Structure formats: structure tokens, C-alpha cells
Amino acid sequence: MKIAIAIDGPAAAGKSTIAKKVALMRGFTYIDTGAMYRAFTWYCLQKGVDCQDEKACCALIPEVNIELKPGYVVLCNGVDVSKPIRGTDVSGNVSYIASYKDIRLALVELQRKMAEKDSVIMDGRDIGTYVLPNAEVKIFQVASVEKRAERRYLENQEKGIACTYEDIVADVEKRDYIDSHRAFAPLKPAPDAIHLDTSNLSIDEVVAEVNKIIDQKLVEKK
Ligand code: DC
């Protein structure tokens, strides 16, 4: 049975960690939509375009080709950008890029195409509300700002990405604000989303909870 799982929520809530694990366990295709906005941002920065200049950024749409490959590899015009898109430059600018309607429309079209063939687990901000409104399972994953910043800080340390804890708190708060206040497809829970607060849960506990929710939906669907 082909199904779609949408996981939305604020920055650094651990959505991708959970989505990757559940996808591996169940044989679903994992689609990291944030990586696509990040790759577009990387391209604007490469080109020396000001990410707050909507017109100039949108003018680049026809020349940007973003692909998600197995092994969580992100290609932008054939260049492997998997690592640079996690850096502070991209993180600090991606919310501007993600607020531009024309860029969103172009990337959403790609995301919907990716979800056509296989069972998918897609994480982002607007998956349950806009990209896949008919997804069988919608989860809105949240955690306190402190917990999210702490987790992202440790993750960056492991990956060798230079940053301070204070930088991460500021980045997470800024992105949450811009992502939830933009006019088009803002960050918000779908009315039928299940809220999951992971502040005091381990990764394994969240994975178990998500699997339980999926199992329930599959039973209902039969
Ligand atoms: O999930 P992430 O932190 O990699 O996402 C990067 C940015 O992209 C985030 O600040 C909001 C934006 N985004 C979005 O607007 N819609 C999505 N579906 C996914 C991400």
C-alpha cells in the first residue's frame, strides 16, 4: 500500500533524524525538503546575489537544478552541496529564500513529483498543509528552543561545523519567526496533524511513537 507521511515543525526539532530512521525501517523514500531550499540558497550565495532581494533570487529559478540522491546527497546543478548547505551562511539566509512564492512553487512542484511513485516520508514546514494535503499521516514535531539549539549544537560539533550555542539559539529563533510569518505557505500545523513534543523524549522513543501513529493509520486505511 502506497502512503505519504508528512512531518512538519520548527527548525532543528529533529524531524530529519526521525524521518530518516522511520524511512529506513519501513522502506519509504525520505524527502528532505529543507535541503532543497538550502541548496537554492547556496546557489544564490555562490552567485553573489543578495538573499533578501526577492527579484534577483527568483530570476535564478530557470538555472537551478536540485536533485536529492540516495545517501542523503544533495546536488545543485550537479555539484554535491550536501555539506555546505548545513553551514551558518546558508542557515542564516535560507528563510528569506523560502519566503519567496515563486521559488516555493518551483520546489513544491518537484516535491510533489517525488511523492508520486513511492511511499514517502517528507519533512518540512508546509508538507501537511500545502505540499501533500492528502498525506495519510501528518505529524507536527516540536521541542523547546533550548532543546532544539542544544541538539543542533552537538550535531554541528560532530560534523565539524563551527558555531556557538548562542549563534544557534539566535538562528533557530529568527528562522522560526520568518518561517511562521511569511505570507505564502507558512509554518503551521495542519488541522488534522498529530502534535508530538519531543523535548523530553529520546530519538528511539520518538521513532517508536511515529511508528505507532503510522501503524494506527494503516489499520484504519484497510
Ligand atoms: O528543515 P531545514 O532547517 O533544513 O529547513 C531550512 C529552511 O527552509 C527553514 O528555515 C524553512 C525552510 N523550509 C520551508 O520553508 N519549507 C519546507 N518545506 C522546508 C523548509
Which pTM does this prediction carry?
0.95
Total count of domains within the chain: 1
Give the list of residues 6+ apart from residue 51 with CB closer than 8 angstroms, or none: 41, 44, 45, 57, 93, 96, 97
Looking up cell 528532505 gives 32
Confidence band of 221 (pLDDT split at 50, 70, 90):
confident
Ligand 1 atom closest to residue 12's alpha carbon, by position in its atom list: 3
**What is the model's pLDDT at position 161?**
83
Work out the average pLDDT over 58-75: 97
Is 82:162 a contact under the CB 8 Å cutoff?
no
Indicate if the pLDDT at residue 222 is higher than 80: no
Indicate if the pLDDT at residue 62 is higher than 90: yes
Q: How do residues 171-219 score in pLDDT, each as one tens digit?
A: 999 999 999 999 999 999 999 999 999 999 999 999 999 999 999 988 8
Tell the residue nearest (CA) to atom 13 of ligand 1: 34
Ligand 1 atom closest to residue 131's alpha carbon, by position in its atom list: 18
Residue 170 is part of a domain; what is its CATH number? 3.40.50.300
Tell the residue nearest (CA) to atom 17 of ligand 1: 124
Is 93:85 a contact under the CB 8 Å cutoff?
no
Q: Which domain holds residue 76?
A: 4-221
